Amino acid sequence: MGFDLFGKSAGVIGTGRIGRTLIGILRGFGMEIIANDPFPNDELIAKFGVKYVDPTTIFKESDIITLHFPLTPESHHLINSESIDLMKPGVMIINTGRGRLIDTRALIAGLRSDKIGSAGLDVYEEESEIFFEDLLGQTLTDDVLARLLSFNNVLVTSHQAFFTREALLNIARTTLEMSKPFWAMARWTMRFAMGARTGAAGSRNTGFAFFRGRLLRVAERRSNSRVQVSNGGYVWHDIQSHVCQDSMWCLTSWARVVYINTGS
């Protein structure tokens, strides 16, 4: 038998982008939200009445605990036998973050004693050898996972909470958009390499200058307000001014250039 979400308390550990989105959904069901994050979000406090508390309070007061936190040495096995002992009887635990946030053996013990009423897991401690492999027709040799799957109040999915048509399209678009500066730089890198093979000092210097100028253009698109260029190593005095000036040439359409120690 299930239970109403209205009026229940949800403990959200990690209020990054995913955690923030979930909080809006849970508030729509009329849940009270308590949260933990190293960087409390003022907007969540003002808009949804979120209360930021320590993890111990979340363990003690939450009807549902949901994890959206990265794996760090501090967060490893955040859910363990000690924290489970603090929880309400029948608590629901959801983990779509990282598998090793939960001590799976402690989770199983909590499920067996009915301290944990249910669990929803999209991640698992040893998932790399199982979730991303085609094991159809093979015997499951992971005894811990096999025991976990034997509970009728546990739902395990193979790290595929993101697996929707819309999410995959967004991932593809974002990846292509983020790769544009790389391909822009790659074209200039190729031009620089071709110039270097000519054996002409002027071609090499000009190629390098244009390449560096192109890097500055990419930096400008990233909304940097100030870009500083420094020369390191042994630079021939008679070509240094040309390299610096040619680099700055790429910037003159959008920036005020002040030459310092360039021979100009």
User: pLDDT (tens digit, 9 = 90+) per residue, 218-243?
Assistant: 555 554 445 555 555 444 444 555 55
Lowest mean pLDDT among 57-66, 126-135, 160-169, 198-207: 198-207
Clarify whether 222 is annotated catalytic. Answer: no
Last residue of a domain, one of 156, 184, 200: 156
Residue 186 lies in a domain: yes
Beta-strand pair 64-67/51-52 = unpaired
Separation of CA 225 from chain center: 26
Catalytic annotation, pick one of 20, 100, 125, 127: 127
d(CA 56, CA 114): 20
* Domain boundary residue, one of 107, 123, 156: 156
**Cα separation of 87 and 76, whole Å?**
18
**Residues 151 and 188 reside in one and the same domain:** no
pLDDT at 38 (0 to 100): 94
254 lies in a domain?
A: no
The SS3 assignment for 10 reads: strand
Residue 42 has pLDDT above 70, yes or no: yes
Query: Active-site residue 74, yes or no?
Result: no
Boundary (domain end) residue, out of 104, 131, 156: 156
Residue 242 sits in the same domain as residue 111:
no
Q: Name the residue range of residue 177's domain.
A: 170-249
Q: Which of 68, 100, 159, 212 is catalytic?
A: 159
- 228 with 134, same domain: the answer is no
pLDDT tier at 63, thresholds 50, 70, 90: very high
Whether the CB-CB separation of 259 and 248 falls below 8 Å is answered with: yes
Q: Answer yes or no: do 136 and 39 share one domain.
A: yes
Do the Cβ atoms of 59 and 86 come closer than 8 Å? yes
159 noted as active-site residue: yes
| Per annotation, catalytic residue among 20, 32, 68, 98 | 98
3-state helix, strand, coil in the chain (%, to 5): 45, 10, 40
Per-residue pLDDT of 176-201, as tens digits, reads: 888 777 666 554 444 444 343 333 44
CA–CA dist 53, 71 (Å, integer): 20
147 lies in the same domain as 233: no
